[in-house]
């Protein structure tokens, strides 16, 4: 079973600042890594897939990088609407299972 570990659990950032979120896989998932944003009371929204490809309609301030076991989501200049919980997800192994990290909460500093 692949375990996804996100850090930090909570990130306090001021509006306009950069946020860097990390996700580590217990074994290589190649580039089969996605990032989701979830706001309170809402369903998750796909931000990034293939480790670095932005989903349709996602602003350019969101970027993803990494491969293998180490991944990063960067929000270049935080807007008020970006304060949320972010989850990474792997979709690499066979037979298929999809594993989420425990989430990183980005809060206003």
Partner 1 sequence: QVQLVESGGGVVQPGGSLRLSCAASGFTFSSYGMHWVRQAPGKGLEWVAFIRYDGSNKYYADSVKGRFTISRDNSKNTLYLQMNSLRAEDTAVYYCAKDLAVAVSLGPFDYWGQGTLVTVSS
Binding site for partner 1 (CB under 8 A): 32, 34, 36, 38, 42-46, 49, 55-56, 87, 89, 91-92, 94-103
Q: Are 34 and 82 in contact (CB under 8 A)?
A: no
What is the closest distance, in whole angstroms, from the C-beta atom of residue 65 to partner 1 in the complex? Answer: 16
C-beta of 2 vs 13, nearer to partner 1: 2
C-beta of 55 vs 77, nearer to partner 1: 55
Q: Are 103 and 20 in contact (CB under 8 A)?
A: no
What is the closest distance, in whole angstroms, from the C-beta atom of residue 10 to partner 1 in the complex? Answer: 13
C-beta of 14 vs 42, nearer to partner 1: 42
Q: Are 86 and 103 in contact (CB under 8 A)?
A: yes
Q: Are 67 and 30 in contact (CB under 8 A)?
A: yes
Q: CA 33, CA 68: separation in Å to the nearest integer?
A: 9
What is the closest distance, in whole angstroms, from the C-beta atom of residue 96 to partner 1 in the complex? Answer: 5
């Amino acid at each position: 079973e692949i375990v996804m570990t996100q850090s930090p659990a909570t990130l306090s950032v001021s509006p306009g600042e950069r946020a860097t979120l990390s996700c580590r896989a217990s074994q290589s998932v190649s580039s089969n890594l996605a990032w989701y944003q979830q706001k309170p009371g809402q369903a998750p929204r796909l931000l990034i897939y293939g480790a670095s490809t932005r989903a349709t309609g996602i602003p350019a301030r969101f970027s993803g990088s990494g491969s293998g076991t180490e991944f990063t989501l960067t929000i270049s200049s935080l807007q008020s609407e970006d304060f949320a919980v972010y989850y990474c997800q792997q979709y690499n192994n066979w037979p298929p299972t999809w594993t989420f990290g425990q989430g990183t909460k980005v809060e206003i500093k």
